[in-house]
A and B are shown apart, each in its own frame.
Chain A
């Protein structure tokens, strides 16, 4: 998908002025945040589990080559095939080739964020395939021709009315004015036809199990299961960081994933797929392929961003981020929004394409506090700011350097600040400053008090 992260400022302003989006974001806070809190109240061991999950991820990344090779061997043993994609383009091509070589045209897609990341749909459609997103949220945004605005609730920005419009235009049914149950029933009706006709099912994976060669998907709708079961071929697209050694390891992560994401203890469907259908099986696909996607991940293993590969894509950092809560996902301009997106987007698409994202944070730290695998997101945003500064992507360098020059010279600093204080006091009205040059941005949303008549430093000097 093409990134529009360079337009973050304009995107954000538009989002703040979009009343429909603002309503949706209010629901988000009431929904996910409250449900997560309730779910964790029933799990007194959560801090210990979080620590163990983080330690487990550290261990896995330090043995990633070993576990990936184990996983690959296990998939082969079960009759599946593993493909390795270095970048987005290669991943897209592998998937398109797999479909085309078998002459399969009708593609069912379960929700996959890495699929969004590599731009799978565009490639498949360009190759003349018919692609249907089967997750309701993904289907809605597919009809709207929009990217997801949340990693686990892709259509969170859409209202019932908008969904009704989209369905009315796409289906042979007037759905404007329909309520939520009617819309869900309509989607179910239309999707059934697609499910029964699908020839290829593409899903993501929440985990890949080295021990068994299984992929695990965690869903609530059952669309991923139907996509993986009914067609002739099942293709799994997954980032290389998804591998875990054993089912027991996956269990620990499963326990924290659903609770952090939707506040459920388990989602409705936790499914393991291992290879194609066995010869005697009554149903299931004849072919099973896994596409392991690198796309910048192996590079992250060395250097300060390694911990970002712990991410299990639960969305908690988005749900608790005050910036995401103010502007929603689209403003971030690419597939991953919120704090995790502000780290991943520059790392995958290049810092020059997304220099604003790491800046667009008050570094309040709530993302790190809620992250179930304890990723130090604020630290990474700061690291990206360092990189951005070094690469010349930070505006106001001159001002910063001037300030630093003064900050290292206390006496000069004091003299200049006293002058500024005196001037500002002279202009103040009843304790507050009027619109002065340089205060415009601050004063857009709030007033600026006048500085003190006498600084603390001056007070101290007089007192001595």
Chain B
């Protein structure tokens, strides 16, 4: 008998397959405009955001870097919608991020209005490390990708051709309260999370 068998045998002594599966509470159905709710909740989660058109995106990113006195360098994800990203003043990087990565630009599969979260996933055209190694994480989210609640994100993932190795649901920048219970941003991941809501 293997350890697996022994553990399962002990479990079977106490698992009788009788307790029915309860009905889960209804997923919350937020009232009002989802985009507005998302924006409010982004702010609550300490993420900043702005709206712009696809054409305005490069300029908006450049302005963000300047505003935050960041080097004019950007690690860009290669996913559809961003492969062609270009701005004359910004030096673009497509290699793995490292200690020097000041800002990264990625897309997102969805934005969750209920919680102010973004759903990102791994794939052949993107790097998960970008979401965590940059000081500033800029995320492009098409306004049509806003969903109401967490439950709405799961079908979108199930529809992907392959289930991704990594799914990141990101709600605000990295933070810690491990020193005297005071919240500090930028523990190991991004100090700032900025969402570009494009229409």
Contacts and interface: CB of A to CB of B under 8 A. Distances in A.
Q: A and B, one complex?
A: yes
Interface of A: 24, 27-28, 30-31, 45, 48-49, 52, 55-56, 58-59, 61-66, 68-69, 78, 84-86, 90, 134-137, 140, 153-156, 158-160, 163, 180-181, 183-185, 187-188, 191-193, 195-196, 212, 214, 220-223, 225-226, 228-230, 240, 245, 247-249, 251-252, 254-255, 262, 264-278, 280-284, 292, 294, 298-299, 301-302, 306
A1 to B, nearest CB: 20
Contacts of A222: 132, 174, 187-190
B122 interface: yes
Interface on chain B toward A: helix, strand, loop, or mixed SS? loop
Contact of A225 (B99, B164, B168, B182): B168
Contact of A281 (B123, B167, B189): B123
Interface in B156-175: 162-175
B133 A45 contact: no
Contact of B25 (A48, A163, A275): A48
Of A140, A264, A281, most buried by chain B (CB within 10 Å of CB) is A281
A135 B177 CA distance: 11
Interface of B: 2-4, 6-8, 10-25, 27, 41, 44-45, 96, 98-99, 114-117, 122-129, 131-133, 150-151, 154, 162-182, 184, 186-190
A85 B45 CA distance: 39
A150 B168 CA distance: 26
Given A220-B187, A301-B11, A180 B182 contact: yes
A350 B131 CA distance: 44
B17 A62 contact: yes
A278 B124 contact: yes
A155 B127 CA distance: 32
Contact of A221 (B6, B17, B174): B174
A212 B124 CA distance: 20
Contacts of B15: 61-66, 301
Given A188-B186, A220-B174, A278 B162 contact: yes
A214 to B, nearest CB: 8
A59 B19 contact: yes
A158 B179 CA distance: 7
Contacts of A273: 165-166
A-B residue pairs, 4 tightest by C-beta = A222-B189, A301-B14, A298-B10, A221-B187
B181 A27 contact: yes
A354 B75 CA distance: 53
A52 B179 contact: no
Contact of B187 (A68, A187, A195, A265): A187
Contacts of A52: 22-25
A78 B163 CA distance: 9
Contact of A284 (B10, B45, B122, B175): B122
A184 B186 contact: yes
B3 A284 contact: no
Of A181, A245, A276, most buried by chain B (CB within 10 Å of CB) is A181
Contacts of B162: 278
A383 B181 CA distance: 35
